[in-house]
Amino acid sequence: MEFSWKLPKKKTIAEWPSDRSMQDIGTIVSHLRHLAALTGVPPPLLHQLASCAYLESLDSGVTLYRQGDKGTSWYAVLLGTLDVHVSKTGIVEDMNAVSRSLGMGSFFGESILDDSPRENTIVTREPCQLLRVEQRDFKNLMQKNKDMMEDLLGHAKIHKNFYHPTSDNSGRNKNNLMHVKTDEPNPALPITM
């Protein structure tokens, strides 16, 4: 599936950061400025995000990650809708209800900052286009732009009103109850040879 943002003369924007031209980065930045959650983000930070992020085009029904997985990336939704599934017991089979949906302009994946397990399972409801920043790049952005990144994350949490379960009735951390195993590869990770 090809990323749909187009440059003049029908040139497709490079999905891999290392393949992008300055024109590609400028086009991504101009689109990011229109996302409500990024309206107050300074252009230099948007430029840094556009320079290190991967552009992902995913079909409907793709699981980005599962509750209990180790976080490897942070995401911004550019187009499409994703469903958030949360298991109260930590058992994958209990995740039959959608607790919320994420649409254009939503961010998720902040667990990469403290290496905590994912608190939910994220599945694409329809074809989606995402901006994905790997953990090492996101932490690097945090170190270089601490105040701006904290503002971005704070604004994003308020903007999306994201649900974060922290403990069950016994007071135990739900993250300690996660026992999720899968043989399926993570489709959002880059393919390496």
Q: What is the pLDDT of residue 167?
A: 32
Determine the structural domain holding residue 139 and report its residue range.
Answer: 8-163
Is there a domain that residue 182 lies in? no
Query: Total structural domains in the chain?
Result: 1
Is there a domain that residue 46 lies in? yes
Whether the predicted model's global pTM rises above the 0.85 cut: no
| Backbone φ/ψ region at 47: left (φ over 0), alpha (ψ -120 to 50), beta | alpha
Is there a domain that residue 171 lies in? no
Closest CA to 137 of 86, 185, 75, 184: 75
Q: What is the pLDDT of residue 80?
A: 93
Q: What is the pLDDT of residue 43?
A: 87
Q: What is the pLDDT of residue 12?
A: 66
Is there a domain that residue 184 lies in? no
Query: Which residues in the chain come in under a pLDDT of 50?
Result: 1-10, 158-193
Q: What is the pLDDT of residue 18?
A: 87
Is there a domain that residue 174 lies in? no
Is there a domain that residue 193 lies in? no
Instruction: Map 39-57 to HEC letters.
Output: CCCCHHHHHHHHHHCEEEE
Q: What is the CATH number of the domain that holds 40?
A: 2.60.120.10
Is there a domain that residue 169 lies in? no
Q: What distance in Å separates the CA atoms of residue 63 and residue 179, rounded to the nearest whole number? A: 17
Q: What is the pLDDT of residue 60?
A: 95
Q: What is the pLDDT of residue 90?
A: 62
For residue 175, give Cα distances in angstroms to 10, 91, 168, 178: 46, 11, 10, 6
Is there a domain that residue 14 lies in? yes
For residue 174, give Cα distances in angstroms to 8, 68, 124, 162, 171: 49, 9, 24, 17, 9
